[in-house]
C-alpha cells in the first residue's frame, strides 16, 4: 500500500542555508529512486528555519530503502546540516472513506 511521508526539519540557528542546500541536493536523486512516486521540499514563509519534505512511496519497503541510503550519506557527512537540525517524520496512508447509498461517510 502507498506510503506518505511528512518530514519536518527545524534548522539550528545559523544552519538554515546548509539545511536548504542539503534538501535541494537530495530531492532530484530521490525522485529517481525506485519506488518514489513524488517528493517535494518546502520552506516556511513564517519561520525561515523550518523546512518540510512531503513524499509518496509505492510501499514501506521502498521508503526503508531510501532511508538506509540517506543514513549512509549522513554518516559520510554530506548532509551534516540536516543531521544537526531537529527533525520529525511521520508516515501515513490514505484514509479509506467510502460514500454509502445514503451519502453518509463510513470507514
| Total structural domains within the chain | 1
CATH number reported for the structural domain that contains residue 82 in this entry:
3.30.70.100
Domain that holds residue 46: 3-106
How confident is the model at residue 11, as a pLDDT? 87
Q: Tell me the torsion sign for CA atoms 25, 80, 49, 91.
A: positive
User: What digits encode the pLDDT tens for the residues 69-97?
Assistant: 866 565 445 555 555 556 677 778 777 76
How confident is the model at residue 73, as a pLDDT? 61
Amino acid at each position: 500500500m502507498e506510503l506518505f511521508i511528512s518530514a519536518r526539519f527545524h534548522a539550528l540557528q545559523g544552519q538554515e542555508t546548509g539545511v536548504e542546500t542539503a534538501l535541494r541536493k537530495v530531492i532530484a536523486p530521490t525522485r529517481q529512486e525506485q519506488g518514489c512516486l513524488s517528493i517535494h521540499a518546502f520552506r516556511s514563509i513564517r519561520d525561515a528555519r523550518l523546512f518540510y519534505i512531503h513524499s509518496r512511496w509505492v510501499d514501506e519497503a521502498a521508503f526503508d530503502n531510501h532511508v538506509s541510503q540517506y543514513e549512509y550519506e549522513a554518516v559520510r557527512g554530506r548532509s551534516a546540516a540536516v543531521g544537526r537540525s531537529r527533525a520529525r517524520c511521520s508516515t501515513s496512508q490514505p484514509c479509506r472513506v467510502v460514500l454509502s447509498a445514503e451519502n453518509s461517510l463510513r470507514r
